Structure 1
Amino acid sequence: MGFAVNQMSLYAKAIPFCYEDFMARPNIKQIEAFNAVMKGGSVTRAAEVLFLSQPAVSKLVHAFEASCGLNLFLRGKGRLTPTPEARRLFAETEKFMSGVERVEMAARAIRDAERGDLTIAAFPALSLRMLPRVAARFLRERPEVDLTLLTRNSPEIATAMLSRMTDFGISLLPTREPGLRCRPFADVSMVCALPPEHPLAAKQLIDLRDLDGIPMINLGTDDLSRRVLDEALAHMGSNPQQSVKVEMADAACMLAAHGQGAAIVPSLATLGWEKNGLVFRPLAQEVKMTVWLYTSAWEPLTALAQHLLGQIREEITEVETIFRQYPSAS
């Protein structure tokens, strides 16, 4: 028996008993009730603020005292008087609840797409004019968003997505990369850019046959819109005269504004040219391109990304509507 007692004594020395190890930790509800009582001065006022019954608040306060191992209130004649320990603890619990409120506010801002980081990759005709315009409006409503816009040629957008550089990508090329989800995002019309003094500027609609023999500013053969246009021109038997070849629709529009010929560009590139001596006319024949949206195959889009995508789609629809007011001849 003596041996057993001696063994227990040695065990107790090796692993000392600690009462605090068996105490339940305070939870947020208990701290919230304690703070409400400290601020309101009574259980009744705390119950009103917390939308709880008085017994429920009293139970939470008792549990908080037990968790802390402290008597925090002197009870008498239906009143609670905070002890000095309670006042010292209240300074800390107030800081804690302020931190909880900040976390709740941050979560709400993220949920409501008001805060976060967002990176987008898009082909030049979209990223140089329309996307900055949409982004400016988007950021005015969400000043705490950190937004990055990347201009990439369509074949490079899938690479940017797979390297996790971007949250989503918008391309003129579909992709079958296994790590990406690809789906049609919008259909975009090709339109004719002309200086106001150009003979064709007086027409409401530009027939592709009107371009036969006319000096044209062409996009490079690597541009997907050029391929679509070449097919349409060949189908109509129209053979424009090439004056200049450029890589981007913006450059084509600027050359057209300076009298170097007509240019066929995506409708997305028509924004912001009002003061640059340039007019845009729809084509009589329907010439369209499909715009593709890339998203991760493994991660869902954030609410922030979904909100921005919705605004981009609305802007494309608005621009496209301008050029649909005339019936096509196709």
Structure 2
Amino acid sequence: MKLNLRSLEAFRETMLSGSATAAAGRMGLTQPAVSRLIAQLEQDAGFELFYREKGRLSPTPEALMIYEEVDLAFGGLERIDALVRDIATFNAGLLKIVAPPSLSEGVLSTILTRFLDRFPKVRVSIDSRSTETARNMVANRTADCGFVKLPMDRADLSTFTLSASETVCVLPGAHPLAKHEFLTPELLRAEPLVLLGFGTWSRRQIDDAFRDRGVRPDVKLETHTVGSACAFAAEGIGIAIVNALMAKNFVRGDTVIRTFRPQILHEYAFMTSALAPMNRLAAALLEEARGYFDALDKPTTAA
């Protein structure tokens, strides 16, 4: 079986736009032509990709399964196209970055503003995927570079450590515990907590800190971004235990930050593929990121 590239493009555009008519407009084709391409792809694949209901196309479970891979593959082709144009014009191009949402919404905005001041003709694409998918995208060069939380041990990735920040507690300023400079598992006993998703490396360290002190954490709510955790803390749902570097971008109103002890550090790194030299735009972004983080205060030693 050999799948037709044009048929795959029609499939991708239909998934992105939601209809064969819209996909036809994006591809410069007629709607019947796009429908024929999709029908040919289904024939080659041996299964249906869309349900046909009163002229509307709804993706099948099989279509949803293969879409992400098709999207990643075409992302690679777009990167080749961007690379050719970058070489031709020297000071133009597309830099594709993968980064966690909390970083994109916080410090990365400042770093990229400075970067784009230096390279005003450069276009930047920021993608947020699962941790493993983000690493794979950088390793296989679907993305040029990315920001990742350490520790990480992969031979196909090169990492450059940027920063280490404390773990902190975010809580309303009127909370009785706000009078303390440091908050420990003992002080947080029986307090409702807002923690990031179960199973991450930093979450395991937090759980270990409570277990080592003989305290069972009262996890009131679990979420997956620092911004949402801080928002829930501000509403009084619970005390959020999060990364200080991210938290300072989301603290609002009378919410305050207090340092968590025992110390848990969060290390962030810049990553590129180890299978090819770093391109010049990624190198420039690394330089900008290093300058930004070098200007921040260094983490304090453990108490």
TM-score range, shorter chain: 0.5 to 0.7
Secondary structure of 1:232's partner?
Answer: helix
Secondary structure of 1:210's partner?
Answer: coil
User: What residue is the counterpart of 1:304 in the other structure?
Assistant: 281
User: What residue is the counterpart of 2:79 in the other structure?
Assistant: none
How far residue 274 of structure 1 moved from its aligned partner, in angstroms, is 5.0
Q: State the alpha-carbon separation in 2 of the partners of residues 162 and 198 from structure 1.
A: 45
Identity among equivalent pairs (%) = 28
Q: Give, as a single letter, the amino acid of the residue that structure 1 aligns with 2:223.
A: V
User: Any conservation in 2 of the 1:180–1:295 contact (CA below 8 Å)?
Assistant: yes
TM-score (norm 1): 0.58
User: What residue is the counterpart of 2:55 in the other structure?
Assistant: none
Mind listing any 5+ residue stretches in structure 2 that lack a counterpart?
1-85
User: What residue is the counterpart of 2:260 in the other structure?
Assistant: 283
How far residue 265 of structure 1 moved from its aligned partner, in angstroms, is 0.7
Describe the shift of the 1:134–1:148 C-alpha distance in structure 2 as closer, same or farther (beyond 3 A).
same
User: What residue is the counterpart of 2:127 in the other structure?
Assistant: 150
Q: State the alpha-carbon separation in 2 of the partners of residues 249 and 264 from structure 1.
A: 9
Q: Could you tell me which of 265, 273, 291 is aligned with 2:250?
A: 273
Q: Deviations along 1:163-220, whole A, 9 cap, x unmatched?
A: 4221112222555555333454433321111122122222222233221211101211
User: What residue is the counterpart of 1:126 in the other structure?
Assistant: 103
What root-mean-square deviation, in Å, do the aligned CA atoms of Structure 1 and Structure 2 show? 2.9
Q: Give, as a single letter, the amino acid of the residue that structure 2 aligns with 1:180.
A: L
1:204 aligns with 2:175: no
Describe the shift of the 1:157–1:129 C-alpha distance in structure 2 as closer, same or farther (beyond 3 A).
same
User: What residue is the counterpart of 1:34 in the other structure?
Assistant: none
How far residue 226 of structure 1 moved from its aligned partner, in angstroms, is 0.9
Greater Rg by CA: 1
Secondary structure of 2:205's partner?
Answer: helix
Describe the shift of the 1:228–1:314 C-alpha distance in structure 2 as closer, same or farther (beyond 3 A).
farther
Q: State the alpha-carbon separation in 2 of the partners of residues 303 and 194 from structure 1.
A: 43
User: Any conservation in 1 of the 2:227–2:250 contact (CA below 8 Å)?
Assistant: no
User: Any conservation in 1 of the 2:114–2:288 contact (CA below 8 Å)?
Assistant: no
Q: Give, as a single letter, the amino acid of the residue that structure 2 aligns with 1:156.
A: T
Q: State the alpha-carbon separation in 2 of the partners of residues 231 and 218 from structure 1.
A: 14
User: Any conservation in 1 of the 2:166–2:265 contact (CA below 8 Å)?
Assistant: yes
Q: State the alpha-carbon separation in 2 of the partners of residues 218 and 274 from structure 1.
A: 16
User: What residue is the counterpart of 1:65 in the other structure?
Assistant: none
Q: State the alpha-carbon separation in 1 of the partners of residues 199 and 145 from structure 2.
A: 23
1:139 aligns with 2:116: yes
User: What residue is the counterpart of 1:180 in the other structure?
Assistant: 157
User: What residue is the counterpart of 1:240 in the other structure?
Assistant: 217
How far residue 272 of structure 1 moved from its aligned partner, in angstroms, is 2.9
Secondary structure of 1:293's partner?
Answer: strand
Secondary structure of 1:211's partner?
Answer: coil
User: What residue is the counterpart of 1:59 in the other structure?
Assistant: none
User: Any conservation in 2 of the 1:217–1:244 contact (CA below 8 Å)?
Assistant: yes
Secondary structure of 1:208's partner?
Answer: coil
Describe the shift of the 1:224–1:127 C-alpha distance in structure 2 as closer, same or farther (beyond 3 A).
farther
TM-score (norm 2): 0.63
Describe the shift of the 1:316–1:231 C-alpha distance in structure 2 as closer, same or farther (beyond 3 A).
farther
Secondary structure of 1:117's partner?
Answer: strand
Q: Which runs of 4+ in 1 moved over 6 A?
A: none
User: What residue is the counterpart of 2:74 in the other structure?
Assistant: none
Q: Give, as a single letter, the amino acid of the residue that structure 2 aligns with 1:191.
A: V
Describe the shift of the 1:276–1:310 C-alpha distance in structure 2 as closer, same or farther (beyond 3 A).
farther
User: What residue is the counterpart of 1:193 in the other structure?
Assistant: 170
User: What residue is the counterpart of 1:170 in the other structure?
Assistant: 147
